Amino acid sequence: MSDDADVTAWFSGRLPDDWFETAPTVSLDREEIVVTGVLPRPDTPEGGAAAERRAEAGRITRFREDTRGARMKIADEAEVLFGRKVAWGADCGETQELFTTLATPVMTRLRQPQRQVLDTLVDAGVARTRSEALAWCVRLVGQHQQDWIEQLRDALVNVERARAAGPA
């Protein structure tokens, strides 16, 4: 498997220069590579924030449709090179959209107190299933502990560097 820098460099070189205003953001995990770019904001007539959001969503939809064939070809190439599925997304103004993303099942074992938390979320209508409740909990931790999670990710990068520099 290639590291983040190799994957990011490949996409930066492979994507057409006119797709995004800046270099795309490339994030990856064991199963998926997500490529997200910033699209130019459309000129919107007077109409307030709601009209701006609709115009931004329209710009993202146009990008998605206009680039579909090329994105599929690039994704196929990347999947062969990096052994992961490729998903796409776009940001336009205040509007963000991801498309063609994976929802990967994850197996976990929970004791009764943890299952009771999930069941409470289901019973309260926060989620339809335990699986949805667990995904909700993970999103909540990601939102509220983002700085700490970033520190962990940075530490893991240093661990990988140390492993790579170590004896063969």
Mean pLDDT over 154-165 rounds to 87
CB count, 10 Å around CB of 43? 6
- Residue 77 has a pLDDT of 97
Residue 44, pLDDT above cutoff 80 = no
Q: Summarize pLDDT for 53-71 with one digit per residue, the tens.
A: 899 999 999 999 999 999 9
Q: Where are the domains of the chain?
A: 1-103, 105-168
Q: What is the pLDDT of residue 1?
A: 43
Which of helix, strand or coil describes residue 36?
strand
Report the alpha-carbon distance of residue 6 to residue 14 in Å, rounded.
Answer: 12
**Pairing relationship of beta strands 95-99 and 25-28 according to DSSP bridges:** unpaired
Q: For the chain, what is the largest distance between any 2 Cα atoms, rounded to a whole number of angstroms?
A: 64
Please state, in angstroms and rounded to a whole number, the distance separating the CA atoms of residues 76 and 73.
5
Can you give the pLDDT at residue 166?
86
Please give the pLDDT value at position 22: 92
